[in-house]
């Protein structure tokens, strides 16, 4: 059962603006490089995991930028049942958003 889109829409507009094709929901996890949130594609309703990275933090730390670039390249190349698929990368003025396969549980 998918969460009601209305609970996502306000947060998405505030966080990223209307150009981002995903509605942003609850936090699934936090890490050294960003926050992972539940997302729903606005048109298809597909649930995804959105790994949200702050561009300012990446620019301030070149090592993190290199690691992020490497993660994007490798995740796009790898296909394995135990590795979440990278669907897309969305760039905004302040964020890099990795759109990953959602694995509930």
**What confidence score (pLDDT) does residue 105 get?**
76
Q: Which residues, including other chains, have CB under 8 Å from residue 55's CB and lie 6 or more apart?
A: 93, 94, 95, 96
**What confidence score (pLDDT) does residue 86 get?**
93
- Is 103 a known ligand-binding residue? yes
How many angstroms separate the CA atoms of 99 and 51, rounded?
Answer: 7
Residue 96 pLDDT greater than 60, yes or no: yes
Output the pTM of the full model: 0.81
**Strand segments (E) across 32-103:** 34-41, 47-54, 86-91, 95-101
CA distance readout (Å), 57 to 29, 82, 96: 18, 29, 11
**What confidence score (pLDDT) does residue 97 get?**
92
| 99 neighbors 48 (Cβ within 8 angstroms) | yes
Q: Which position has the token pair 């930028």?
A: 65
Which residues constitute the domain of residue 67? Answer: 5-101
Indicate the number of domains in the chain.
Answer: 1
Higher pLDDT, 59 or 13: 59
């Amino acid at each position: 059962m998918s969460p009601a889109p209305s609970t996502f829409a306000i947060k998405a507009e505030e966080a990223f603006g209307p150009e981002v094709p995903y509605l942003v929901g609850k936090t699934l996890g936090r890490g050294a490089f960003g926050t992972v949130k539940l997302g729903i594609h606005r048109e298809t309703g597909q649930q995804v995991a959105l790994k949200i990275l702050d561009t300012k933090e990446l620019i301030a730390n070149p090592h993190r930028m290199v690691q992020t670039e490497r993660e994007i390249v490798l995740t796009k190349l790898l296909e394995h049942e135990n590795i979440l698929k990278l669907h897309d990368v969305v760039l905004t003025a302040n964020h890099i958003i990795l759109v990953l396969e959602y694995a509930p549980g």
